[in-house]
C-alpha cells in the first residue's frame, strides 16, 4: 500500500551552499501524488521530485521545473522520505535550497517518524530492474542490476588518511536506512572548503553540519559517528538520488567513486531502455522488503526531539 506522512513536520536551518535561513515542511499528499516540492516564496511553484527534473549542479542534486523554479540539495530529505517508506508528500520550502540541518538525514527521519505515517489503501507499484545498466566515467562507475529488493554496495578511495578506502554493502530491507545510514554526515576536505567558499559555495557550512577532514585529522567536534561514516554518507546520497526514480526500485545499486550526477545519469540510462525495467505491483511480501518497512518501532529508540528542529 502507498504511504504518506500523517501530519505536518517542520524544520528550520540554513542552506549549505547559500548560507541563507530556510524553513521546510513535509505535508501529507493523496495517493498517486508522488513527492513534489513547493517553493512558497515563488507563489507555490511546483517542482516534481523526479529524475527528469534534475539539472547539472555542483556538489548536490538540483531540481528544476523548467519554468524558472529550482530547489537544490534535495538528496538528504529524499533519502529520509524513501528510508521511511513515504511515497506521497508535499515538501514546502521557502527558498532555493533545502536546509542542511546536521549534514545527515537523521533530523528529517526523526521529524517524519514523530509526525507519523499513514497508509493509503492504494496499491504500490515499483520499478523492477530486469538487466544490468551501467554508467562509467574514467575509473568511476554506477550500476543497477536485478534484485528482488533494494541493495546498495558502495566504495570510495580518498588520499586523506581520515577517510582512505572504505567499502560497505547493505540490504536495505528491515529499516537498514534508519539503523545504519541516516545519521552519517556529508564530508569534505578542509582545502576544498576554502576553495568552495572562494567560489561562493559552502557559505552555510560549519564543523557542526559536515565532517571536515585535513589529512589524518577530523576537524569536526566529536569526531566521526561511524568509523566508515564517509562511505555510509555516500550510500545515503545514493538512496536519495535513487528516490528520484519516482517509485521504489527493486535492484542492486553498485557505486564506485560515484556521485549525484552519475546516479542521475544511471537513472536516465535505465529509463531510456524499456527492456531493462518493468512496473510491478507489490505484494505484501514484497512490501515487507522495502527500505521503509518496519521503521515505526525505531521511533521509540530515537532521542526525543522538538517538532521544530533548528540548526545554528
3-state SS assignment for residue 192:
helix
76 as an active site residue: the answer is no
Which domain range does residue 187 map to?
3-299
Whether residue 216 lies inside any domain: the answer is: yes
Residue 195's φ and ψ, nearest 5 degrees, are: -65, -45
Residue 308, pLDDT score: 34
Whether residue 308 lies inside any domain: the answer is: no
Distance CA 57, CA 13 (A): 21
Residue 302, pLDDT score: 42
Per-residue pLDDT tens over the stretch 219-232: 999 999 999 999 99
Domain count along the chain: 1
Whether residue 30 lies inside any domain: the answer is: yes
Whether residue 225 lies inside any domain: the answer is: yes
pLDDT grade for 14, boundaries at 50, 70 and 90: very high
pLDDT grade for 194, boundaries at 50, 70 and 90: confident
Per-residue pLDDT tens over the stretch 133-161: 999 999 999 999 999 999 999 999 998 99
Which of 84, 78, 89 has its CA nearest to residue 31? 89
Residue 155, pLDDT score: 97
Q: What is the CATH number of the domain that holds 266?
A: 3.30.1700.10
Provide mean pLDDT across the span 89-110.
97
CB 193 within 8 A of CB 207: no
Q: Where are the alpha helices (DSSP H) in the chain?
A: 75-83, 106-115, 176, 190-198, 229-242, 260-271, 284-287
Give the least confident one: 59-63, 73-77, 254-258, 276-280: 59-63
pLDDT higher than threshold 80 for residue 292: yes
Dihedral, CA of residue 268, residue 271, residue 275 and residue 280, to nearest 10: 140
pLDDT grade for 257, boundaries at 50, 70 and 90: very high
Q: What is the pTM of this model?
A: 0.92
pLDDT grade for 305, boundaries at 50, 70 and 90: very low
Q: Bridge-partner residues for 189, per DSSP? A: 213
* DSSP symbol at 36: E
DSSP code per residue over 61-123: -EEE-SSS-EEE--HHHHHHHHHTT--BEEEEESSSB-B-TTSSSHHHHHHHHHH-EEE-SS-
Provide mean pLDDT across the span 57-81.
94
Whether residue 162 lies inside any domain: the answer is: yes
| Cell numbers placing 91 | 515538501
Distance CA 215, CA 209 (A): 19
Residue 309, pLDDT score: 35
Whether residue 309 lies inside any domain: the answer is: no
Please identify which of the residues 17, 76, 233, 260 carries the catalytic annotation: 260
Provide mean pLDDT across the span 59-78.
95
Which of 292, 311, 310, 312 has its CA nearest to residue 113? 292
| Cell numbers placing 193 | 572548503
Residue 310, pLDDT score: 32
Cβ atoms within 10 Å of 140's Cβ, excluding its own = 14
Residue 249, pLDDT score: 98
Q: Which helix (H) or strand (E) holds 6?
A: none
Q: Which residue, chain included where needed, has cell 566529536?
A: 222
Whether residue 259 lies inside any domain: the answer is: yes
Whether residue 307 lies inside any domain: the answer is: no
Provide mean pLDDT across the span 82-109.
97
Amino acid at each position: 500500500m502507498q504511504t504518506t506522512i500523517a501530519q505536518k513536520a517542520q524544520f528550520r536551518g540554513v542552506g549549505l551552499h547559500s548560507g541563507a535561513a530556510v524553513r521546510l515542511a513535509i505535508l501529507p499528499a493523496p495517493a498517486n501524488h508522488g513527492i513534489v516540492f513547493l517553493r512558497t516564496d515563488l507563489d507555490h511553484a511546483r517542482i516534481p521530485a523526479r529524475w527528469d527534473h534534475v539539472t547539472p549542479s555542483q556538489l548536490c542534486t538540483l531540481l528544476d521545473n523548467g519554468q524558472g523554479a529550482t530547489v537544490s540539495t534535495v538528496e538528504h530529505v529524499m533519502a529520509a522520505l524513501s528510508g521511511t517508506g513515504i511515497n506521497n508528500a508535499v515538501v514546502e520550502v521557502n527558498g532555493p535550497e533545502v536546509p542542511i540541518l546536521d549534514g545527515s538525514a537523521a533530523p528529517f527521519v526523526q521529524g517524519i517518524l514523530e509526525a507519523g505515517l499513514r497508509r493509503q489503501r492504494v496499491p504500490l507499484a515499483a520499478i523492477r530492474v530486469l538487466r544490468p545498466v551501467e554508467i562509467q566515467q574514467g575509473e568511476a562507475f554506477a550500476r543497477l542490476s536485478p534484485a528482488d529488493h533494494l541493495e546498495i554496495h558502495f566504495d570510495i578511495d580518498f588520499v586523506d588518511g581520515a577517510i582512505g578506502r572504505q567499502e560497505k554493502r547493505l540490504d536495505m530491507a528491515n529499516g537498514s536506512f534508519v539503523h545504519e545510514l541516516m545519521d552519517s554526515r556529508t564530508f569534505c576536505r578542509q582545502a576544498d572548503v576554502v576553495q568552495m567558499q572562494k567560489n561562493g559555495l559552502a557559505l552555510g557550512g560549519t564543523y557542526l553540519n559536515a565532517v571536515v577532514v585535513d589529512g589524518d585529522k577530523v576537524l569536526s567536534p566529536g569526531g566521526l559517528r561511524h568509523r566508515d561514516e564517509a562511505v555510509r554518507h555516500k550510500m545515503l546520497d545514493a538512496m536519495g538520488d535513487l528516490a528520484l526514480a519516482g517509485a521504489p526500485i527493486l535492484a542492486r545499486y553498485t557505486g564506485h567513486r560515484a556521485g549525484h550526477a552519475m546516479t542521475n545519469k544511471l537513472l536516465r540510462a535505465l529509463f531510456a531502455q524499456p527492456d531493462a525495467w518493468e512496473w510491478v505491483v507489490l505484494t505484501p511480501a514484497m512490501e515487507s522488503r522495502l527500505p521503509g518497512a518496519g521503521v515505526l518501532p525505531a521511533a521509540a529508540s530515537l532521542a526525543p526531539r522538538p517538532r521544530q528542529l533548528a540548526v545554528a
